[in-house]
């Protein structure tokens, strides 16, 4: 779904070309290609990796394949933009990053929300210290999904659960606003497939700023984000992963900033990839790999507390790499 949306949004870019699509079967690749106007269709990711005309691969396989697929493409000399969540755990994320370094390739987590105009304005506010010290963040992302034990959202084999799929959006916002936490505590409701159908996390930061973050697959949460600063506040309205505006309050005065955009907003991250490659960079300063790895560590810490374990946590990295060679 997100791959189709991304490809459709790329028509708004004036550069880059979608040369090929790959899927686990030729039929699925051809179906996607027909829907989105892509002629070259590969029936396996290995074929795509071997395609000499490809510079950058966008990885949108299930979470549970991100590490093996990304590593294979990097080893084949491709730059990679990998869907969020980047990996199932911090071990996988570290392996992906070190593979990119070894092969001198660009690598970024496709944290598209961070590149939207509302979040660009938020980053300016933070960088310019315009509202003083951030003190509190309240952010949630959750919707009532029909329960289906075989859907990836509920399947632990595919990295299911609210945390990795939805919680990552408010968690990356916490990282953007506060940086590293010095305490992470969490609670959750696990469903019958043993993934977190609802999760809440408190992150305390040096200086005392506290974030309350919630995600759910069973409740329609407010899905907004409110940041309290010492000298004002910021509201990112629902849906917080896809805001069309941002409200900035200083004293009694609130400024409502239009932050709408053409398309659905997935192209901004592709512009960042082009910008980085033009400049010879291998890491984005807006969504740095250090943040990606830190987010994976935070989610590992949360999962350890709430008792959600994936097979990849047990195998460690070496097994993932073996798998990827197939």
Residue whose CB is less far from a copy of itself, 187 or 309: 187
Nearer to a copy of itself, 18 or 219 (CB): 219
CB of 309 to a copy of itself, least distance (A): 19
> Which alpha helices (DSSP H) does the chain contain, by range?
2-9, 26-36, 45-50, 63-75, 90-102, 117-127, 162, 168-178, 267-278, 289-306, 311-325
| Residue showing tokens 């974030």 | 211
Q: Is 78 tagged catalytic?
A: no
**Rounded to whole angstroms, how far apart are CA atoms 308 and 58?**
28
Looking at beta carbons only, is 22 or 186 nearer to a copy of itself?
A: 186
The catalytic residue among 65, 68, 78, 84 is 84
Q: Is 262 helix (H, G, I), strand (E, B) or coil?
A: coil
List, in sequence order, every residue forming a beta bridge with 21; answer none if it has no partner.
41
* Shortest distance in whole angstroms from residue 235 CB to a copy of itself: 8
Q: Which chain residues interact with a copy of itself by CB under 8 A? A: 135-136, 138, 140, 142, 144, 183, 185-189, 197-200, 202, 204, 207-210, 212, 214, 216, 218-222, 226, 228, 230, 233
H helix runs in 224-266, sequence order: none
Nearest CB to a copy of itself, comparing residues 60 and 188: 188
Least distance (Å) from a copy of itself to the CB of residue 146? 13
CB of 192 to a copy of itself, least distance (A): 12
Nearer to a copy of itself, 4 or 208 (CB): 208
Q: Are strands 232-236 and 225-229 parallel, antiparallel or unpaired?
A: antiparallel
Q: Which residues contact 269 (CB under 8 A, 6 or more apart)?
A: 81, 108, 110, 111, 112, 114, 115, 287
| Tokens coding 5 | 């949306």
Q: Which residues contact 224 (CB under 8 A, 6 or more apart)?
A: 139, 140, 235, 236, 237, 238, 240
To the nearest whole angstrom, how small is the minimum distance from the Cβ of residue 123 to a copy of itself? 21
Q: Which residues are catalytic?
A: 84
């Amino acid at each position: 779904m997100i791959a189709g949306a991304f490809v459709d949004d790329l028509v708004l870019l004036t550069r880059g070309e979608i040369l090929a699509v790959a899927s686990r079967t030729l039929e699925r690749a051809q179906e996607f290609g027909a829907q989105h106007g892509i002629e070259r269709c590969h029936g396996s990711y290995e074929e795509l990796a071997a395609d000499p005309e490809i510079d950058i691969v966008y990885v949108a396989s299930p979470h549970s394949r991100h590490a093996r697929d990304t590593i294979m493409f990097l080893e084949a000399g491709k730059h990679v933009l990998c869907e969020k969540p980047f990996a199932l755990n911090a071990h996988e994320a570290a392996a992906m990053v070190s593979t990119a370094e070894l092969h001198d390739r660009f690598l970024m987590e496709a944290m598209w929300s961070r590149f939207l105009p509302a979040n660009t304005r938020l980053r300016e506010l933070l960088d310019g210290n315009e509202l003083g010290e951030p003190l509190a963040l309240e952010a949630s992302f959750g919707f009532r999904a029909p329960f289906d034990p075989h859907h990836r959202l509920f399947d632990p084999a595919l990295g299911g659960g609210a945390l990795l799929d939805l919680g990552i959006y408010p968690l990356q916002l916490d990282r953007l606003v506060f940086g590293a936490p010095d305490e992470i505590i969490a609670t959750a409701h696990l469903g019958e497939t043993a993934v977190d159908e609802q999760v809440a996390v408190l992150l305390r930061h040096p200086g005392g700023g506290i974030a309350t973050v919630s995600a759910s697959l069973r409740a329609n949460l407010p899905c907004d984000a409110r940041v309290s600063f010492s000298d004002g506040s910021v509201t990112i309205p629902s849906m917080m992963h896809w805001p069309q505006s941002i409200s900035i309050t200083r004293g009694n005065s609130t400024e409502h900033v239009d932050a709408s955009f053409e398309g659905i907003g997935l192209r901004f991250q592709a512009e960042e990839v082009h910008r980085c490659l033009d400049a010879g960079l291998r890491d984005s300063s807006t969504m740095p790999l250090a943040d990606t790895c830190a987010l994976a560590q935070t989610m590992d810490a949360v999962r350890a507390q709430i008792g959600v374990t994936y097979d990849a946590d047990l195998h460690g990295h070496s097994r993932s790499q073996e798998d990827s060679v197939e």
